[in-house]
């Protein structure tokens, strides 16, 4: 029920975010995905790319693992305690398994984004897994979240703003929020809906992105 309700919220935005995130992955990458409906969208778009046969996805997201059952690439589902509310694997065993791994990219779903309280989630077990994923990532870490998460503060912090390299969000996020985030040094990738080919020579790859806001 909780997961199902989340899956019904802002589906087009999550679809756009998942597509934009998947385009940051290259063949040969090892990728961490945590729990959530937005990270499941990332997995679905990774599965849709025929050029990604040699990636490894490590996740505690049970729904994503099920969706990947016919994927060409390897998926490692963490072992541990099953949390039915989020269809995820959490707990000591999952965290310790992660500490024995490394990835070169991570896509992390969150429940809240705040300049003061950073990235948050309502469950301490979920925060632990996400934080370990971030610690064990040797390359860029991206938060994937739709515009509704902006200004929301949940119970447990899973990462500070400085621990994340970029935020992939749909283009409904308020422009002022984008500027505030970029002023904090956060790369904001605003993902828009896929546009039809108008015959003007622009590719759909280019059409699916709004500008990137980044402070240097």
Residue pair 38/144 in contact (Cβ under 8 Å)? The answer is yes
214 by DSSP, 3-state: which?
Answer: coil
State the pLDDT at residue 3. Answer: 46
d(CA 204, CA 198): 10
CA atoms of 91 and 154, how far apart (whole Å): 19
> Which run of H or E residues covers position 120?
strand 118-121
DSSP code, position 150: B
Locus of tokens 């990774």:
46
What pLDDT is stored for residue 8 in this prediction? 56
Query: What is the count of structural domains for the chain?
Result: 1
pLDDT along the chain (216 residues), means of 10: 54 96 98 98 97 98 97 98 96 98 98 97 97 98 97 97 96 92 93 55 38 39
| pTM, full prediction | 0.87
Give, for 5, the enclosing helix (H) or strand (E): helix 2-8
Domain that holds residue 41: 2-213
Q: Which residues pair with 190 in a beta bridge?
A: 169
What is the pLDDT, as a whole number, of residue 163?
97
For position 117, what pLDDT does the model report? Answer: 98
CATH code at 140? Answer: 3.40.50.10470
CA distances from 174 to 20, 37, 149, 192 (A): 18, 22, 12, 13
What pLDDT, on the 0 to 100 scale, is given for residue 194?
67
């Amino acid at each position: 029920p909780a997961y199902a309700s989340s899956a019904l919220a802002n589906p087009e935005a999550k679809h756009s975010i998942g597509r934009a995130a998947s385009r940051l992955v290259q063949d040969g990458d090892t990728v961490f995905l945590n729990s959530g409906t937005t990270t499941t969208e990332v997995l679905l778009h990774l599965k849709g790319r025929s050029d990604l046969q040699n990636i490894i996805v490590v996740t505690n997201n049970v729904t994503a693992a099920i969706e990947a059952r016919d994927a060409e690439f390897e998926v490692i589902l963490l072992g541990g305690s099953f949390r039915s509310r989020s269809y995820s694997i959490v707990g000591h065993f999952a965290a310790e398994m992660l500490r024995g791994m490394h990835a070169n990219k991570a896509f992390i779903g969150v429940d809240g984004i705040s300049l003061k309280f950073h990235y948050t989630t309502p469950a301490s077990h979920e925060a632990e897994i996400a934080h370990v994923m971030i610690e064990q990532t040797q390359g860029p870490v991206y938060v994937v979240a739709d515009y509704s998460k902006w200004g929301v503060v949940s119970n447990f912090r899973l990462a500070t703003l400085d621990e994340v390299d970029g935020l992939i969000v749909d283009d409904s996020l308020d422009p002022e929020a984008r500027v505030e985030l970029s002023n904090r040094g956060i790369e904001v990738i605003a993902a828009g809906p896929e546009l039809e080919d108008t015959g003007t020579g622009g590719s759909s790859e280019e059409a699916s992105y709004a500008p990137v806001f980044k402070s240097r």
